[in-house]
Chains A and B, each alone.
Chain A
């Protein structure tokens, strides 16, 4: 009662929502975040972290450590934006900056997201081939059809709550890393002391790591999710716990993927060229079943991530166009939104069956994300720091710092990559 009276007397809106969370509230808020965080590592993320571990060992662990608070800062900004403006990012870009800015910004997210969908589909099909021996090209269309059906005709957000357990396999990377007996002192040193290198593997790996960690579609997905839940600014404090738990768990699993592959593949100078190469990092824990565990995990991660990529693209396009949108609406009520989802699946299938090397497709889609992310981060930063848009909920200094660091780190990696490509060309 006293708490309610204090909130009623508060002078700023921020004071009104500044509630103290009980331990129970924290646990209730963190639980879904941990599950969602595990699901954030899609097949392209898992493959990228594996390739980075296999090619550079633990050398980029520090970048992952740096990316953790930075990712939290950016996602938290998005959640705050949605709850204050009561809108998703696509709509907000249109109503604040106009279509001239919003349309290219959205396309910058949609293009790599659809390419990532194609790469993820390819990864699922390749994983299915590992399990069954059926050529991957035959399973691309059935997988895409299944996911399109779930996204368009069922309530994906409810279905995904059950499917999230499919990515529990990521926990096996933690055990695999421990059993692989890495040099923990070297791991610790690489994590806390930045090791810079301008080798091609390192620079491409850095851009892919940043692109898959601070991935552009997450910005749109977070705002759309908040807009669909319609909980408002009173929910911001528990949203922060949820986001922090998700980001930490997501990056902890990414860290152990890199350690596991670093300790098994990097030390033996093995490279990842196929899905079964990537699965070898799980051999310390799964032995002969490493391939099976890896394949099931990739299929589970793909089932979770691909509908999200399609929906995030559709949310963004519908927001800019001013169409009705939302996975909570049925297809008859928001036809254009669902047509975009269907088109995203069609293009992704086309990309997946066009004879691209799956591992390269997964890795380079994340490099593309890394190139594009700074533009969107800057736009989010401009919105979230504006008192006109956010009022009492505008960014504080720490939020601004995290956003600026996010953009600068990715820009630095992108510049290094551009110099690499200009001087040495694309890697073989």
Chain B
């Protein structure tokens, strides 16, 4: 978030809405993981962010809105998730099916942007595409072909295992994939 927010008009619009009292919308990048609302002229931030850089950036942006309707900022309920998992050890491939290629491309972009992930591989497989064979290990190809035969398109993302929960949630629930597969994690070296 730290890099992309600076010139993101949607983030600025979200803050404007919060200050105006419309605090129902999810944060453009962090979604419902964080919330901000004005209470008695105090901008109260709450929720959980993945690292302290995100927290610092949110607090900085909130402080930039003080002066008029907002007297000060309360970030005491904004937590940084305590994580001990290491990145770079395991990879996981996730596949999601969508009705057509356009929807699949949009969904793929949505997942990457809202999940704030850095995929090691991102492919959209359309019906008839030969890319399906290399997208996943052999035992899953038949299953993928079944969906392609129905005219569906597939988003295939290879991500760090620590990011895979977010990806699956966005595929299953937010982009409403008709089918999702999480290929079991494998050592990161296997995908190099």
Chain A contacts to B: CB under 8 angstroms? 4, 7-13, 15-17, 84-87, 91, 95, 227, 230-235, 322-325, 328-330, 332-333, 388-393
Q: Which residues of B contact A13 (CB under 8 A)?
A: 90, 184-187
Contact B176 A322 (CB under 8 A): yes
Which A residues touch B166, using CB under 8 A? 230
Say which residue of A9, A84, A332 sits within 8 Å of B182 (CB atoms).
Answer: A84
| Interface membership of chain B positions 73-97, coded 1 if the CB is closer than 8 angstroms to chain A and 0 otherwise | 0000000000111101110101000
Minimum CB–CB distance for B130 against chain A, Å: 23
Contacts A13-B90, A16-B90, A233-B161; A86 near B182 (Cβ below 8 A): yes
- Cβ A16 vs Cβ B184 within 8 A: no
Q: How far is the CA of A12 from the CA of B32 in the complex (A)?
A: 35
Q: What is the size category of the interface that chain B forms with chain A?
A: 35 or more
- With contacts A84-B182, A86-B182 taken as known, whether A233 is within 8 angstroms of B90 at the C-beta atoms is yes
A332 to chain B, nearest CB (A): 6
Could you list 17 A-B pairs, sorted by A, with CB under 8 Å? A7-B89, A8-B189, A11-B187, A16-B89, A86-B92, A95-B180, A95-B181, A227-B165, A231-B83, A231-B165, A233-B185, A234-B86, A234-B89, A329-B32, A332-B24, A333-B26, A391-B185
Cross-interface CB contact of A392 among B33, B88, B184, B189, cutoff 8 Å: B184
User: Known interface pairs A10-B187, A232-B161, A324-B173. Does A87 touch B182 (Cβ–Cβ under 8 Å)?
Assistant: yes
* Chain B contacts to A: CB under 8 angstroms: 24, 26, 32-33, 35, 83-86, 88-90, 92, 94, 139-140, 161-162, 164-169, 172-174, 176, 179-189
Q: A10-B187, A85-B182 are known contacts. Are A234 and B85 too (CB-CB below 8 A)? A: yes
Q: Which residues of B contact A95 (CB under 8 A)?
A: 179-181
In whole angstroms, how far apart are the Cα atoms of A230 and B31 in the complex?
Answer: 16
Beta-carbon contact of B173 and A323 below 8 Å:
yes
| B165: contacting residue among A230, A322, A324, A388, CB under 8 A | A230
Chain A nearest CB: distance from B158 CB in Å? 14
Complex Cα spacing A392 to B180, Å: 20
Residues from chain A with a CB closer than 8 A to the CB of B26 are 333
Which residues of chain A are near B179, meaning CB under 8 Å?
Answer: 95
A391–B183 touching, CB < 8 Å:
yes
Tell whether, in the assembled complex, residue B168 and residue A390 are in contact, meaning their CB atoms are under 8 Å apart: no
Asked whether B185 lies within 8 Å of A84 as measured between CB atoms, the reply is yes
Question: How many angstroms from the CA of A184 to the CA of B74 in the assembled complex?
Answer: 58
Contact between chains at B176 and A8 (CB < 8 Å): no
In the complex, given contacts A231-B85, A324-B174, what are 9 additional A-B residue pairs having Cβ atoms less than 8 angstroms apart?
Answer: A86-B167, A91-B172, A231-B83, A232-B162, A322-B176, A333-B32, A391-B183, A391-B184, A391-B185
CA distance A330 to B46 in the complex (A): 13
Q: Across the interface, name the chain A residue whose C-beta is closest to B35.
A: A330
Q: With a CB–CB cut-off of 8 A, which chain B residues contact A86?
A: 92, 94, 164-165, 167-169, 182
Closest to B167 in A: A86
- The 8 Å CB contact of A390, one of B169, B181, B184, is B184
Kindly list chain B residues whose C-beta atoms are within 8 Å of the C-beta of A91: 172, 180
A388, B140: Cβ atoms under 8 Å?
yes
List A contacts of B184 (CB < 8 A).
13, 84-85, 389-393
Q: Which of A233, A235, A324 has the most CB of B within 10 A?
A: A233
Q: How far is the CB of A17 from chain B (nearest CB, A)?
A: 8
